Copies of this chain bind each other. A is one copy, B any other.
């Protein structure tokens, strides 16, 4: 009989397994949130709040500054990888990397570290793996911002394989449209082929020279890519429309507005409609709490190449970075796993940083 979350809380490795073994695919986090809440309520030094399936636990020691440790409780759908299993220093299973091993570090620390040298807000939230509208951190920022706005710095325990990944890229999606004129394909010269016209859009994409921007020592590499293309009416009709969905991953020195203007300029002459947009986040490594966190880790930070919820903290004016034991390349795969050694190392870093 494997230990429960309550029984495992003193060992972040056992705790990772116990968390993985409570299924919590996005939308189904209630059972896991209940257990996390119950464990947190056993710690006398924490004030615990429950908002939907988001659990917030705060120390209140009157420290000079407050920091946040945050992680999401949900996972992508199970893919034959539940419950967890161990093999040669690895824990396999859905959520092991993304991000129940990170959640385990925060939950463990919340319970065992009763006198941290900063006040700490521990955040465990739901629905990170689904549409932004449902994201628990976003909702907390809207519905109960007081839980966030008094913090000076945040660590998001998303998988980084034990490295510090600072800030994040922004992401923009646009629909680029080429148009033409329908005709029967047996008399194609009477029409204008919108798919052929899309060739120029693809040429511009292929010739695009993406920037790499270094900020606070972190190199943000951009990318502009077609992610979908669709066009055509029927097998015997010259098509009058072709739509290309383009994803622009941009360095955080561009605003969303500037990113959209850049993309419109690239596709000058074509219809461009923005369908999705999320700001990047600057690394913010000059914040004092960030500096002493980096010292505790003892390794140079690098840029987060991807969009994460650090951007939501950045939007609230809270510098944030990503730091977790999971390997981001294993997230969302059937073979998802985490190294036991990375969990142990991460727990040591956080204890070193927060020990009073």
Contacts and interface: CB of A to CB of B under 8 A. Distances in A.
Interface of A: 169, 171, 173, 184-189, 193, 195-199, 202-203, 205-206, 221, 223, 225-239, 242, 244-245, 247, 249, 276, 305-307
A195 B242 CA distance: 13
Contact of A223 (B173, B189, B203): B189
Nearest to A332: B184
B206 A202 contact: no
A226 B196 contact: yes
A244 B221 CA distance: 31
Contacts of A242: 229
Given A196-B225, A229-B231, 18 more contacts: A171-B185, A171-B236, A185-B249, A187-B305, A188-B249, A193-B226, A195-B227, A195-B228, A195-B244, A196-B205, A196-B206, A199-B203, A226-B239, A227-B236, A227-B237, A227-B239, A228-B231, A235-B276
A109 to B, nearest CB: 29
A185 B247 contact: yes
B228 A185 contact: no
A186 B203 contact: no
A273 to B, nearest CB: 14
A199 B206 contact: yes
A300 B287 CA distance: 86
Contact of A227 (B173, B199, B202, B234): B234
Contacts of A197: 206
A199 B204 CA distance: 9
Nearest to A331: B184
B186 A249 contact: yes
A233 B227 contact: yes
Contact of A185 (B203, B223, B232): B223
Contacts of A247: 185, 235-236
A198 B307 contact: no
B234 A185 contact: no
Given A245-B235, A249-B186, A229 B230 contact: yes
Contacts of A227: 185, 195, 232-239
A197 B177 CA distance: 18
Contacts of A228: 195, 231-232, 235, 239
A229 B305 CA distance: 30
Given A184-B306, A232-B229, A202 B199 contact: yes
A187 B302 CA distance: 14
A323 to B, nearest CB: 18
Contacts of A189: 221, 223
Contacts of A307: 186
A187 B235 contact: no
A189 B222 CA distance: 9
B245 A232 contact: yes
